[in-house]
Amino acid sequence: MRRLVVLALLFGAMKLIEPLGRPDAAPEALLTFGFLILAAYATGELAAGFGLPKIVGYLVGGIVAGPSVLGTVSGAAAQELAPVSSLAIAMIAFLAGAELRWEELKERGMILLRLTISEIALTFVAIAALLIAGRQFFPFLRDVPLLTAAIFAALFASIAVVHSPAVTMALLTETRAKGPIARTTLGVVLLSDVVVVLVFSAMLALAQRVVPSEGASTGGIGMVVWEILGAVPIGALLGFGIAQALRVIKGELLLFALLAALFGQQVASLLHVEVLLTLLVAGFVAVNFAKEDQGHAILDAMERAAAPIFVVFFALAGTKLDVVETAKLAPLVLPIFAIRILGIRGGLRVGARWAKVPHADVAPVWQGLVSQAGVAIGLVTIAADAYPEAGNAMRTLLLALIAVNETVGPILFRRALVTAGEVGGGDDAASTPRAGEGAEVEAEVAPEGAA
């Protein structure tokens, strides 16, 4: 009840401000930032009270406050807060890389790669086949030749297979989950991001050759290759620099963590490399090359610095979800949603056989692979720029699909972690405590920490 009262007071205060006129862009953005932190945190606590992940509450808070429902947060104010989303992606990527350990990669890297390739391949084929079989129902496939329809279906499928590092890290941080399901899910999600970017780039290049468009990108394959491959050495250098800096920085780690993420984001942008991959590599190198206590310290500091940023990040994602449009597209979205889940589950089964691991050990992982978020939105925006007419129809359908996956996915993943007994540390919490575990700030507000 207290949370409901807080929410009512917050929305009431914003409504009282409206007759005074909206302030200029910068003051309105600051007002919106403060409002979203408080409102989303309150809805997150409400969601937790019903046994749901807090991230679902943050998203719902954003949806209610956004233009499609109450309109408390204007589209202009949300756009002004775009740098907050960019910073959150950088922090999510750093945290995701920092969670990986070199010893585990050496031991399980090939298993994770085989699971990832099998899952993505089967899901890609299943979604593309569904679209081609029912192409008369999809606007961007209906009135085009069969070859063009197949190319557009493959392009759509290459985006629809993507997962969400943001949601994965969010749930792992919120639940402090430790154990094989948590580690396998995180590994597959991180590897799949690299694989999906490569697959999407190949599909887009093929589409531009077979179906030329005036909106086609002129960057060429070389630029795409540089964005991906160049991110690895740049991220490694950045991570090594952070590890060295930790030897002399004794205090103010929270501020240092925030500056490190900002610096990495700007470096990646200036050098035109993939931000997510750059910061992921930087986080991995920084924590694995630093002394153990220093690695844990920077990870803990990054989690605490990121807490309010993540709340606003997911609330902003909620403001961009159009409830009415998603409901209208339900007859098209739900079959894709269902076939995507079947593809993920079947792909994991095939991958388990290929990797020669018991299927029961990886069966629950599919529930952590349903979510989608920022990476998928970024890829479909590129497709829409390349093919303005068909791409915009793709974007509308994909945004509706993302809205469903982004809402259902966290619930499924939390259920898998709870069922596996990994929430709160799981079976190996005593032997490998998570950095920052027990910190009061994290326990209170760390939402969950990923593209």
pLDDT at 218: 44
Per the structure, how many domains does the chain have? 2
Low-confidence ranges of the chain (pLDDT < 70): 1-28, 213-224, 373-375, 378, 425-451
Q: Which pLDDT belongs to residue 293?
A: 76
Asked if residue 266 and residue 331 are part of one domain, the reply reads yes
Domain end, chosen from 30, 51, 80, is at 80
Question: Which pLDDT does position 429 carry in this prediction?
Answer: 39
pLDDT of residue 275: 79
User: Do 138 and 287 share a domain, yes or no?
Assistant: yes
pLDDT recorded at residue 441: 34
Express each pLDDT in 236-285 by its tens digit: 999 899 888 888 877 777 788 888 888 888 898 888 887 777 888 888 88
76 shares its domain with 190: no
Same domain, 18 and 124: no
Same domain, 439 and 360: yes
Distances (CA, A) of 394 to 38, 111, 343: 34, 33, 20
Exposed/middle/buried for residue 433 (C-beta within 10 Å: 0-12, 13-18, 19+): middle
- Cα separation, 358 vs 126, in Å, equals 24
Chosen domain end from 38, 57, 80: 80
Regarding whether 206 and 74 lie in a shared domain, the answer is no
> Do residue 318 and residue 214 come from a single domain?
yes
Do 27 and 120 reside in the same domain of the chain?
A: no
CA dist., res. 86 & res. 377, Å (int): 13
Residues 106 and 182 in one domain: yes
> In terms of residue numbers, what domain contains 32?
2-80
* Domain membership flag for residue 451: no
81-85's contacts with Cβ under 8 Å and 24+ in sequence apart are 81/29, 81/32, 81/33, 81/36, 81/312, 81/316, 84/33, 84/309, 84/312, 84/313, 84/316, 85/313, 85/316, 85/317, 85/374
Q: Tell me if 233 is assigned to some domain.
A: yes
Question: Alpha-carbon distance 12 to 347, whole Å?
Answer: 49
Query: What's the pLDDT tens digit per position in 49-80?
Result: 887 888 888 888 888 888 877 777 777 777 77
385 and 259, same structural domain?
A: yes
Residues 6 or more apart whose CB falls under 8 angstroms from that of 251 comprise: none
At 439 the pLDDT is 38
pLDDT of res. 272: 82
Domain contains 166 = yes
**Residue 246: what pLDDT?**
82
Task: Report the distance separating Cα 369 and Cα 383, nearest Å.
Answer: 23
Q: What is the pLDDT of residue 319?
A: 83
Residue 248 sits in the same domain as residue 189: yes
Report the CATH number at residue 156.
Answer: 1.20.1530.20
* Residue after which a domain boundary falls, among 62, 80, 98: 80
- Mark whether 64 and 106 lie in a shared domain: no
pLDDT at res. 317: 79
Is residue 450 one of the residues assigned to a domain? Answer: no
Task: Give the count of alpha carbons within 13 A of 280, CB side only.
Answer: 24
